Amino acid sequence: MCTDSYADTGTDPLMARARHLWESLAGVPVSFASGGGPTVVTAPASALAPPGWVGTVLLGDAALVTAPTDDVAHAVRRALAGVPTPSLTDPGAVARVWPVAEVLGPATLAYLSADDFHPTAPGAAEAERLPAGHGDLHRLLASVSEEDAGECGLDGITSPGFVVRDGAAVVAAAGYGNWPGNTAHLCVLTAPRARGRGLAGQVASAATAHALAAGLLPQWRARPAASRRVAGALGFRELGAQLSVRGTQSPTIS
């Protein structure tokens, strides 16, 4: 899995599908620039960031940047003109040119084609299926920190939950939410006491196989290195990253 530089665009169908997804989430008609670099647009309803924030998605050599107002878009466009494209999702690089009050991310964005999928070993125990919203999934979420619960997104899955138990308790679970563009957004969580045993890969493999069988594009968004390693072992390729920032009330760019 690529970790330092992201895949070139070329004719890569995986990159094309990933870009199409985020173009549809921008909230306004926009495309990644064919010549690379950032495209900054005003998009108050953008799904690239929380309401009122600036959202950046970098895929390959180009990025989409959405801003809540025309004034903010103008300020951000001027500021980012001097930032190298690979640094557009680097919080430090952005903060040096634009007044930032709060940051979410960056998170890597990884995608998987069926040909690249490496499921867990056949000898691994088959993951149990639970319906989305099952009480055992909620109990797993309640057993971890608020940060871990929010990071994994398991409470928003629309697929079955694929789980492993330790006794009666679910200690690892994975599923996915249906996103636009026939995309399956993977969500994985392991209880702290059960980490380091390969359970995340086991349940994630089952959820990924389910998504591929449905003809969906698996997406893995992660910040922790451990999560990225699990994705890489399954065959996901890191194509880019996402960063959201909230600016100060009155941004001024010299």
pLDDT band at 254 (very low <50, low <70, confident <90, very high): very low
CA angle (241 as vertex; 235, 242 as ends), nearest 5: 130
Residue-wise pLDDT for 213-244, tens only, equals 999 999 999 988 999 999 999 999 999 999 99
pLDDT at 84 exceeding the cut of 50: yes
Residue-wise pLDDT for 112-167, tens only, equals 999 999 998 665 668 999 999 999 999 999 999 998 888 889 999 999 999 999 99
Report whether 232 contacts 220 (CB < 8 A).
no
- What CATH architecture applies to the domain 114-235? 3-Layer(aba) Sandwich (3.40)
Parse the chain into domains and list their residue ranges.
13-109+240-247, 114-235
